[in-house]
Amino acid sequence: MKPGNAAVLFLGALSFLPRQQQQPTYSVKVAEVQIAAQVKDKNGRSIADLQKEDFILQDEGKPQEIEYFARQSDLALTLGLLVDTSMSQRQVLPEERRASVQFFQQVLRPEKDSAFVISFDFEAKLLEDLTSDLGRLDNSLRDVELPRSRPAPGNRGRGGGGGGTVLYDAAFLAADEILRHQSGRKAIILLSDGVDNGSIEKLESAIEAVQRADTVIYSIRYYDENAYAGGRSGRGMPPGRRGGRGPGVMRTAVDGKQILHRLSNETGGSMFEVSRKLSLTDIFSRIQEEMRSQYIIGYTPAKDDSKTGFRHITLRTRDKNLQVACRSGYYPR
């Protein structure tokens, strides 16, 4: 199935959900290519006081002039929260709801920033369309819940491949259907264990859609080891499935951590993992700090008809002791 067909399925799912009236967006005209960059020192501390002259930018190895330069506070923010509601996340959803509500309250500026909420399991659901209303976002998070039933064998769920977790579809559709139409700063917060076993889209097409939408992914891996632990008797598993103590959850060999790393690294974001030493609330605080110290850099590359595919970007600072995180490149429009 072609990538565009996933969007059709997604829109079919949305037709059954109340679509809120889109709020006014606040945009800033930028150069043709826009890069969101994060700068840290060797100790991982964010550096937020650099100037345009402190950066060196290359496109396919050729030096570029920075035409647009802004810090995060100058631009409106469009934020997408993607929450994994598959059975492997059943034990962590209550904490994710609480922390997400607090994060929205701390990050979103009234009448300037906006956000939307998507849940995904065997299908992707838009729980709240773009809004600046914290009450609506709060209410949508109350609707985040586990799937009540699974598709019958061979029957596709709307917005997904049917029967699995559609992480890639959710990221693709958030970028292609919503974020690519917005201006300013754009970010996805992805709450998941990183396992996808039902998407129509591939990981590569999801990353491409996010890059084309000039969006950064901050992924948070919340892994419940009990959901995938090898069971002794397989009690509670559906017929034909083996391993796993959790009801309805199959043991998987998919490296979710590596997948989330790739989604974040190739879009210029960061990947975090909930642990005993690092709580979900702590992670949201770190993401908030990174977003506050983010730089937006824009430039117009010289036209080069010899290369129409993906173009690689290199961005660094004149201070070699600093590290720059940004997306790895872009697709010419």
Asked whether residue 12 carries a pLDDT value surpassing 90, the answer given is: no
List of residues 6+ apart from 264 with CB closer than 8 A: 217, 218, 219, 270, 271
| Least confident piece of the model among 127-141, 178-192, 232-246 | 232-246
**If you write DSSP's letter for every residue of 60-128 in order, what string do you get?**
TTEE----EEEEGGGS-EEEEEEEE-SGGGTTTHHHHHHHHHHHHHHHPPTTT-EEEEEEESSSEEEEE
What pLDDT does residue 70 have? Answer: 87
Domain assignments of the chain as residue spans, ordered by start: 3-19+74-292, 36-71+297-330
- Location of structure tokens 């990174």: 290
Residues in the chain: 333
The Cα–Cα gap between 38 and 34 comes to 13
Please state the pTM of the whole predicted model.
Answer: 0.78
The Cα–Cα gap between 35 and 114 comes to 20
Does residue 18 or residue 242 have the better pLDDT? 18
Asked whether residue 267 carries a pLDDT value surpassing 50, the answer given is: yes
What pLDDT does residue 308 have? Answer: 66
Helix (H, G, I), strand (E, B) or coil at 294: coil
103-120 pLDDT, tens per residue? 999 999 888 899 999 999
Q: Which CATH number fits domain 3-19+74-292: 3.90.1150.10, 3.40.50.410, 3.10.28.10, 3.50.50.60?
A: 3.40.50.410
Q: What is the mean pLDDT of the chain?
A: 80
Asked whether residue 10 carries a pLDDT value surpassing 70, the answer given is: no
Q: Is 282 left (phi over 0), alpha (psi -120 to 50) or beta?
A: alpha
Does residue 255 or residue 265 have the better pLDDT? 265
How big is the chain by its Cα radius of gyration, in Å? Answer: 20
